[in-house]
Amino acid sequence: KAGVTQTPRYLIKTRGQQVTLSCSPISGHRSVSWYQQTPGQGLQFLFEYFSETQRNKGNFPGRFSGRQFSNSRSEMNVSTLELGDSALYLCASSSGSRTGGYGYTFGSGTRLTVV
């Protein structure tokens, strides 16, 4: 069973540019969540998509957006990049059941560096 695939693994962008990150969840998983990880703030929840709908959103500015496709693959977009957006972006997939007690399966992450 293939795991969670995130592409690309590494990315270098310039301030002001925009970036799109991709996440393919485990087959059969309908929920995809995105996290930003920085040394100072730790792991912060960005948003969750379930069946192509954003079900939950963290406390990030509107420059951060996402979407999910019918095959459950998800993309995350950051516009007008700032230096502070440099981080490891982790994607996690789950069945999406709210009554289940199981956690996420994470991808290897995309390390974004903004220069």
Partner 1 sequence: AQKITQTQPGMFVQEKEAVTLDCTYDTSDPSYGLFWYKQPSSGEMIFLIYQGSYDQQNATEGRYSLNFQKARKSANLVISASQLGDSAMYFCAMREVPNRDDKIIFGKGTRLHILP
| Contact call for residue 32 and partner 1 (CB under 8 A) | no
| Contact call for residue 111 and partner 1 (CB under 8 A) | yes
**How far is 75 from 77, CA to CA, in rounded Å?**
7
Taking contact as CB under 8 A, which single stretch among the options 20-28, 30-38, 65-73, 76-84 is the one that binds partner 1? 30-38
Count of residues interacting with partner 1 (CB under 8 A): 27
| Residue 88 contacts residue 34 (beta carbons within 8 Å) | no
* Min dist. Cβ of residue 42 to partner 1 (A): 5
Q: What is the DSSP letter of 98?
A: S
Burial of 33 (0-12, 13-18, 19+ CB in 10 A): buried
Residue ranges binding partner 1 (CB under 8 A): 31, 33, 35, 42-43, 45, 48, 55-56, 58, 88, 90, 92, 96, 98-109, 111
